[in-house]
């Protein structure tokens, strides 16, 4: 896509710091990291989000995430890793190219991934389950 910043990075039109690459993905350092070692795994094939990506690409995504996450944990000694993937503007997606964030977490890093849990009734949950089944 001509105006996609991640496509431009993948074409080397915009510089990036690559930490991993295979035939389907390139992992780069996030230039606005949430934590030390924040990496973005970019799909080389353009798809706006998870819902548009083909199944073969999605099947390859988690093994690539695992490989990068292990390297981040081993190298940086983080205490945990969040894997985050947003789909749609309302879900926080700002670049419409399938990608996953690997965010190292450290004790006392003062970072939070927040949401406000709701309290649906058992009946509401059953109705939604029926709709989704």
CA-based R_g, the chain, Å: 17
Dihedral sign, Cα of residue 89, residue 94, residue 99, residue 102: negative
Q: Residue 80: beta bridge partners?
A: 105
Report the predicted TM-score, pTM, of the whole model to 2 decimal places.
Answer: 0.93
Out of 38, 46, 97, 99, which one is annotated catalytic?
99
Distance CA 37, CA 79 (A): 12
What is the separation, in whole angstroms, between the first and last Cα of the chain? 36
Tokens of 7: 């496509």
Dihedral sign, Cα of residue 66, residue 67, residue 70, residue 72: negative
| 46 annotated active-site | no
Tens digit of pLDDT at every position of the chain (133 positions): 789 999 999 999 999 999 999 999 999 999 999 999 999 999 999 999 999 999 999 999 999 999 999 999 999 999 999 999 999 999 999 999 999 999 999 999 999 888 889 999 999 999 999 999 9
């Amino acid at each position: 896509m001509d105006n996609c910043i991640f496509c431009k990075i993948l074409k080397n039109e915009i510089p990036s710091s690559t930490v991993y690459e295979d035939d389907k993905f390139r992992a780069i350092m996030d230039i606005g990291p949430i934590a030390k070692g924040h990496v973005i795994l970019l799909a080389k094939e353009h798809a706006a989000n998870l819902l548009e990506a083909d199944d073969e690409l999605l099947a390859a995504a988690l093994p690539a995430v695992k490989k990068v996450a292990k390297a981040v944990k081993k190298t940086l000694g983080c205490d945990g890793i969040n894997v985050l993937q947003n789909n749609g503007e309302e879900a926080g997606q700002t670049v419409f190219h399938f990608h996953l964030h690997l965010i190292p977490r450290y004790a006392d890093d003062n970072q939070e991934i927040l949401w406000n849990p709701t309290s649906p009734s058992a009946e509401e949950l059953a109705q939604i389950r029926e709709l989704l089944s």
